[in-house]
Chains A and B, each alone.
Chain A
Amino acid sequence: MAIVLETLFKILFMFLLIMGMVPALIWAERKGAAFIQDRTGPNRASIAGIRLAGLVHPIADVLKLVFKEDVNPADRHHALYNLAPWLVMTVAMSTYAVIPFGDWLTVGGQRIPLVVADLNVGLLYVLAVASLGTYGVVMAGWAANNKFTFLGGIRSTAQMISYELSMGLALMGLVLVFASLRITDIVAGQGELLFGFLPKWGVVVQPVGFLLFIVAVFAETNRNPFDLPEGESEIVAGYHLEYSSLKFALFFMAEYCHMVVGAALIAAFYFGGYQIPWLPRPVLEANAGLLLTIKLAALVLFSAFIAVLFLRRVQRERGKFGDARDREPVLGMVFWAGLAALAAGGLLLRPWAVGPVGADLVATVFQVLAFVAKVVFFAWLFIWVRWTLPRFRYDQLMNLGWKVMLPLGVANLAVTAVVLALV
């Protein structure tokens, strides 16, 4: 019974992490895109006149999509048309089952591993689920009975077949190095040091594999340089053209879920997952008090600094707009000052003197935070790349997949095997 309960809690944590990141990523995408292109981006949706730099927009989007009419093409294939969005979403979410987000959490003297399902073939599970991901897209494209959606589905299959191979080959190099298909083993192996000073991260031992993997992940998530299945300029919106209302919302959310999955995979396979470089678990636990103190102090200083920046804005922009927006800098100042006060309050609790139980908890929290930070960075990388690179042409896509990435993957695997046999 206990194991069912803890698994449910772990699933809940992962679910909340993803579902919390999706609106944040949508905001980051729109605002980041705007700032990269020298625009201000969305800032109109407001609650009682407070706009919060567009943070209200995701709520407005959701409300709009929920209350919109669900328009369907008349000649659709009913069952597959309705199944497709759910399939896309389910597949996007199920990869998380095997990604560890921390070492362990000690509850009542028992160590609970922080991964939902510790499969001994976890890495293959990732590949298997990724390969199922294309079905939702294909079904959507075919069942809507529209030439544009159909072309989007066809493109998606062709792209999937081409890049799945390179993804698998890139990961096989990693499997050779860490000698396991279990993702927890791979992440644990990345906590070691190479030559005594370099963290043995996947990106250090497998740089070519990392490049291949990140390109393949971009292709699998259908994100920008590889978003041919929805190429607006050629096939309108591709596979989800005929969807509206909540069904479209599912496709939209699935795209961001895929991004978070991709980011989590890159972090887990090539950037040490929850490992903090040079701070393995025993060191973390031994110095938990010191680290917590430093962390809280840094938080105090940082929040205070941001609060001061907001204070300056409050003084400079007094009565600039003449409506509720004048109160926004005040809100920001109060928020950051409150955070600083909270952290300072934490310092008063003498964090440098935590006991062994507390040290364990602190170490776990630090590792989970490290994992989340890495995921956030790589999720941002997806957005950043989208607003930097143009889309590939179809022949370029196929050339890159078959003539560059596949041979490189095979070569990388062979070189890795030879080097490992010699060492």
Chain B
Amino acid sequence: METFLFWFCGAAMVLGGLMTVVQRSAVVSAVWLIFAFVAAAGIFALLHAPFVAILQVLVYAGAIMVLFLFVIMMLQGPVLEGERRRMKPALWPAVAIPPLAVLVLVGTRIADHGTAAFTTPLPAGFGSPTHVAELLLGRYLLAFELISIALLVAIIGALAIGKEERKLPWK
């Protein structure tokens, strides 16, 4: 059952990713991306990390993609077909770089440690909110706080740029 679910979620995720890139309409792309995120959450749940799985849906599929859709729709308006433009054949190999990179990473990991790292039993309470909180507010506290400061700076920067009075053609 778990194997089946894993392959199912994995296939769904790959399909979602592919369709995100292939679609011409930005809104449809975004919808496929949400699909891929939800499938990823399924994989997290299968990896005994329900907390991360729920956060994946809550933060990425829920909050961030809503913002994305909001922005895309504001800029694009009701159903519009995107321009038909072909990628330069010279750039086609670039598409293969991300999946290859992942393959190489996983491959070196297996070469170094063997498959034992994937089959060792998990400690009790792994992936629970308490476990994540202990790591986040203990071992990785500094990184966590630094990232939040960086995000705060980004927000203030965005506000500063957005607030600037621009010369509009009709003014």
B79 interfacial by beta-carbon distance below 8 Å: yes
* Residues of the A chain whose Cβ atoms lie less than 8 Å from the Cβ of B107: none
- Distance in angstroms from B148 CB to nearest chain A CB is 15
B44 CB to closest chain A CB (Å) equals 11
Cα A79 to Cα B66 in complex, Å, equals 19
The secondary structure that dominates the B interface is helix
- Beta-carbon contact of B54 and A77 below 8 Å: no
CA distance A79 to B51 in the complex (A): 32
Stretch at the interface among B55-63, B135-143, B157-165: B55-63
The residue in chain A whose Cβ has the minimal distance to the Cβ of B25 is: A77
Please tell me if A415 contacts chain B, counting CB pairs below 8 Å: no
Q: How far apart are B14's CB and chain A's nearest CB, in angstroms?
A: 19
CB neighbours (8 Å) of B28 from chain A are 77, 79-80
User: What's the tally of chain A residues with a CB closer than 8 Å to chain B?
Assistant: 34
Report the separation of the CA atoms of residues A147 and B63 in the bound assembly, to the nearest whole angstrom.
24
A127 beta carbon closer than 8 Å to chain B: yes
In the bound complex, CA of A129 to CA of B129 (Å): 18
Please count how many residues in chain B sit with their CB below 8 Å of the partner chain's CB atoms.
25
B62 contacts across to A, CB distance below 8 A: 127-128, 130-132, 164
Given contacts A77-B79, A120-B129, A143-B79, contact A128 B54 (CB under 8 A): yes
A142 touches B (CB below 8 Å): yes
Determine whether the beta carbon of A131 is less than 8 Å from that of B73.
no
- Given A132-B61, A181-B129, are A125 and B70 neighbors across the interface (CB < 8 Å)? no
The answer for the CA separation of A127 and B59 in the assembled complex, in Å, is: 10
Residues of B within 8 A of A (CB): 25, 27-28, 31, 34, 50-51, 54-55, 57-58, 61-63, 66-67, 69-70, 73-74, 77-79, 128-129
Other CB < 8 Å A-B pairs besides A79-B28, A130-B62, A135-B31, 10 of them? A75-B79, A80-B31, A119-B54, A127-B58, A128-B57, A132-B61, A142-B79, A143-B79, A145-B78, A181-B129
